[in-house]
């Protein structure tokens, strides 16, 4: 009789364990991505651990999805291929406009006062100054990605503000490298004499003693502006449960592991809202980069 009872208990345990596994498997996966502002291999390494952290904090499977370019990150968000993304300022605005109800949840502590560096190849003879380097007129210049906030939007805006000319009127040739790392590379080789990029990418290259910094120098720093942000789709709570967006926000702000934060790189995440990115909406519309 005892054997029968023991067997029954074991059977019930197996049923419950199987049921628990089924419930876990039934939970929808949260897919997230990040704008490809660096080499794809580095991005995969950077965000694999972030996915693991979020999965533990949120109690749902979380998977990082790489995208090829900035526009692809917005398309993936619009098409519900990803529900959460680490966007740049402009791509975040584009994504929220594309999916009504979407919300900016968090930003890096540095992101409300972000800046771009204008860098030059050493052969130009240009040196860093407090005012825009008008001696750069007639030289070649590269932005990063076409919809990058720090690699295109605000550099474009400040070129116009400081010179009274469009970039292709002030410089002899204007290109788009694709991302900040490529901007540093093409300026370091002299393929372009000047470029604009995210200041954290250059500072990291200096810290790591990257070979590209040997032939380049910072010649001007833009005034501060809002930039990167975590944005979640407006229908996330309907899919993952009431209050899920708030839970994601808490997990992001509660991310304190220095190694995880170095993936971005940020010192900490703080709360953000859509209103924080009003200046980007205004400049994006002025430069006809938003519908």
At residue 108, the 3 state secondary structure works out as strand
In this structure, is residue 270 part of a structural domain?
yes
Buried b (16+ CB within 10 A) or exposed e, 145-178: bebbbbbbbbbbbbbbeebeeebeebbeebebbb
Which domain, by its residues, includes 81?
9-111+226-286
Q: Given this model, what pLDDT does residue 26 score?
A: 75
First to last CA, the chain: 75
In this structure, is residue 216 part of a structural domain?
yes
Q: pLDDT digit of tens for each residue in the chain (291 aa)?
A: 434 334 443 443 443 334 334 444 578 999 999 988 666 677 787 899 999 999 999 999 999 999 998 899 999 999 999 999 999 999 999 999 999 999 999 999 999 999 999 999 999 999 999 999 999 999 999 999 999 999 999 999 999 999 999 999 999 999 999 999 999 999 999 999 999 999 999 999 999 999 999 999 999 999 999 999 999 999 999 999 999 999 999 999 999 999 999 888 899 999 999 999 999 999 999 999 887
In this structure, is residue 247 part of a structural domain?
yes
| 123 & 100 share domain | no
| 257 & 127 share domain | no
| 127 & 93 share domain | no
| 102 & 124 share domain | no
| 154 & 188 share domain | yes
Q: Are 104 and 138 in contact (CB under 8 A)?
A: no
* CATH number of the CATH domain containing 35: 3.40.190.10
Residues pairing with 220 in the sheet: 118
Q: Is 250 exposed, middle or buried (0-12, 13-18, 19+ CB in 10 A)?
A: middle
In this structure, is residue 154 part of a structural domain?
yes
Cite the DSSP H helix spans in the chain.
Answer: 2-26, 40-58, 70-78, 89-98, 154-163, 167-170, 180-189, 199-207, 236-240, 244-253, 258-261, 278-286
In this structure, is residue 64 part of a structural domain?
yes
- CA 82/CA 30 separation, integer angstroms: 7
Q: Given this model, what pLDDT does residue 56 score?
A: 97
Maximum pairwise Cα distance, the chain = 95
In this structure, is residue 4 part of a structural domain?
no
| 238 & 95 share domain | yes
Domain's final residue, options 203, 221, 239: 221
Q: Are 222 and 162 in contact (CB under 8 A)?
A: no
Q: Are 102 and 234 in contact (CB under 8 A)?
A: yes
Q: Given this model, what pLDDT does residue 225 score?
A: 95
Q: Given this model, what pLDDT does residue 11 score?
A: 42
Crossing angle (nearest 10°) for helices 89-98 and 278-286? 90
| 99 & 127 share domain | no
| 131 & 80 share domain | no
In this structure, is residue 1 part of a structural domain?
no
271 membership: H or E segment, kind and range = strand 269-271
Q: Given this model, what pLDDT does residue 39 score?
A: 64
Q: Given this model, what pLDDT does residue 37 score?
A: 65
Domain's final residue, options 221, 255, 273: 221
Domain's final residue, options 199, 221, 243: 221
CB atoms within 10 A of CB 263: 20
Q: Are 104 and 92 in contact (CB under 8 A)?
A: yes
The residue length of the chain stands at 291
- Residue 58 corresponds to which tokens in the numbers above? 């949120």
| 124 & 265 share domain | no
| 18 & 104 share domain | yes
What backbone phi and psi angles, to 5 degrees, belong to 4?
-65, -45
At residue 215, the 3 state secondary structure works out as coil
Q: Given this model, what pLDDT does residue 199 score?
A: 96
**What's the domain count of the chain?**
2
Report pTM. Answer: 0.82
| 135 & 176 share domain | yes
| 211 & 128 share domain | yes
In this structure, is residue 291 part of a structural domain?
no
């Amino acid at each position: 009789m005892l054997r029968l009872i023991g067997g029954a208990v074991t059977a019930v345990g197996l049923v419950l364990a199987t049921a628990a596994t089924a419930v876990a498997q039934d939970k929808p996966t949260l897919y997230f991505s990040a704008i490809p502002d660096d080499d794809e291999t580095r991005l995969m390494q950077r965000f694999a651990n972030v996915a693991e952290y979020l999965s533990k904090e949120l109690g749902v499977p979380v998977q990082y999805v790489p995208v090829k370019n900035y526009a692809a990150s917005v398309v993936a968000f619009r098409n519900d291929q990803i529900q959460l993304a680490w966007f740049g300022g402009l791509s975040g605005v584009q994504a929220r406009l594309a999916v009504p109800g979407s919300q900016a949840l968090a930003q890096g502590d540095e992101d409300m006062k972000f800046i771009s560096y204008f860098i030059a190849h050493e052969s130009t003879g240009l040196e860093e100054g407090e005012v825009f380097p008008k001696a750069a007129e007639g030289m070649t210049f590269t932005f990063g990605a076409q919809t990058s906030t720090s690699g295109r939007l605000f550099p474009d805006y400040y070129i116009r503000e400081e010179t009274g000319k469009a970039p292709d009127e002030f410089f002899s040739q204007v290109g788009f490298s694709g991302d900040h790392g490529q901007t540093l590379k093409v300026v370091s080789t002299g393929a372009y004499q000047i470029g604009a990029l995210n200041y954290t990418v250059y500072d990291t290259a200096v810290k790591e003693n990257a070979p590209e910094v040997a032939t380049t120098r910072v010649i001007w720093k833009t005034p501060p502006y809002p930039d990167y942000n975590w944005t979640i789709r407006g229908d996330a709570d309907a899919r993952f449960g009431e209050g899920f967006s708030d839970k994601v926000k808490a997990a992001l702000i509660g991310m304190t592991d220095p190694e995880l934060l170095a993936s971005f790189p940020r010192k900490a995440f703080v709360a953000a809202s859509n209103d924080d990115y009003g200046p980007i909406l205004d400049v994006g519309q002025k430069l006809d980069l938003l519908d």
